[in-house]
Every structure is written in structure tokens, then in C-alpha cells.
Amino acid sequence: MTPTLELVWPSSQYLPHYVAALERGWSANTGRGPKAAADELASIREDDAAFLAGLVDRHAGNELFTLPDGSQVPRLPSYRRWLWDGEFCGSITFRWQPGTEALPPYCLGHIGYSVVPWKQRRGYASRALQLLLPEAREEGLRFVEITTDPDNVASQRVIEVNGGALLEQFTKVGAFGGTPGLRYRIPL
């Protein structure tokens, strides 16, 4: 029997599995990679409850967010859900600006996802995105935009399977390396 994938809210129940994935070298933050994993492990060791609480931030307040180049920008309302099939499988993050679909230039898209390498090629990213889209609609959005790299065919397929259409080719802002990107739009 194939395990069922679900999105779970980050909690102490699942945290040991998340830590194990970080310790194996995985990070949801592909822009900062191992540095992001090390930073998250340090935050968890310092105050695991505060770490978990920070993964669900629907108001963003006056907090700052660190970009891959180390610069800091205003944090957007966001939350992270963890992919779970009986084990930790990855994460999917949703961020938005209340009242608009527009995002600031430093935010590449509404949704980002990452599946741990040992659970890839099972359709988990596609299913996670499918499960998250109704939640985005509940925030009042008419569409979401998701970006990926031109050579990331697997991610392009995940987006297309969920109704995404290529909106544009663009150049990422300097904080993300100024490299080419593809922006997709999924109507809700």
C-alpha cells in the first residue's frame, strides 16, 4: 500500500524527524543550502518552541528576513507546512501580502517547496502543491506565482501538473545571484 502524503503543521511531534533531515544535509532553503540547515539546527537547539512558532507567522510584524546574499528585507506573512507520509518528506512554504497578489521584487514567488532527496520522484511535491492551493485561495488570492530555474524540469512539471502556465522568463534580483528564472502563474 502506498503511503498517503499529508501536510502537517510544524510541531514538537514531528520536530525530531525534521532535525534528522537537516542533519542529513537537507534544507528547504535551496538558496542558502547547508548554511540555512546549520542556522536552523542552531535555532532549534537554542529554543525549539520559538523555532516552531516562527514557522507560522501570519502577520510578519516588523521582523526581517535574510536573503541568500545576507541582506535583510521586511518579512512577509507566511507559514511552512511539513510533508508527512509517516516520515518527514520535505516542506512547502506559502507567503503573501494581504489584499493583493503582488509580491515585492525580493520575493520570488508565493510558494516554495522542497522534498528530501530520499523521498523524491514519488509525486510528493505535486501532491503538496495541490493540497496547499486551496489554502492560498482562502487568503483571498486569485492566483499564485511560483518561480523555478530554467534547468529544473522536475519543478516545472510540478507546477504545470497543478495548472501553472509559464508567465515569463526573468532575471532574479542580485540577492538571488542575478541568474535566469521562470515565473509561472496558477489560477485559483
Question: Is 4 in a helix, a strand, or coil?
Answer: coil
88: burial class by Cβ within 10 Å (0-12, 13-18, 19+)?
buried
Q: Is residue 4 packed enough to be buried (19+ CB in 10 Å), middle (13-18) or exposed (0-12)?
A: exposed
Report the pLDDT value the prediction gives residue 2, as an integer from 0 to 100: 55
* DSSP 8-state symbol, 104: -
As a dihedral over the C-alpha atoms of residue 133, residue 136, residue 140, residue 142, rounded to 10 degrees, the angle is: -50
pLDDT at 105: 86
pLDDT in tens, the chain (188 residues): 457 999 999 999 999 999 999 999 898 887 777 888 899 999 999 999 999 999 999 988 778 887 778 888 888 999 999 999 999 999 999 999 988 999 998 889 999 999 999 999 999 999 999 999 999 999 999 999 999 999 999 999 999 999 999 999 999 887 788 899 999 999 99
Residue 130 CA: distances (Å) to CA of 16, 47, 61, 167: 26, 32, 29, 19
Domain boundaries, the chain: 6-143
Bridge-based pairing of strands 6-8 and 78-84 is antiparallel
Look at residue 1 in the predicted model and tell me its pLDDT.
45
For the entire predicted model, the pTM comes to 0.92
Cell numbers standing for residue 14: 514531528
The dihedral through the CA atoms of 73, 56, 101, 7 has a sign that is positive
Instruction: Mention every residue, 6+ apart, whose C-beta is less than 8 A from residue 26.
Output: 37, 90, 114, 116, 117
Topology of the domain comprising 6-143:
Aminopeptidase (3.40.630)
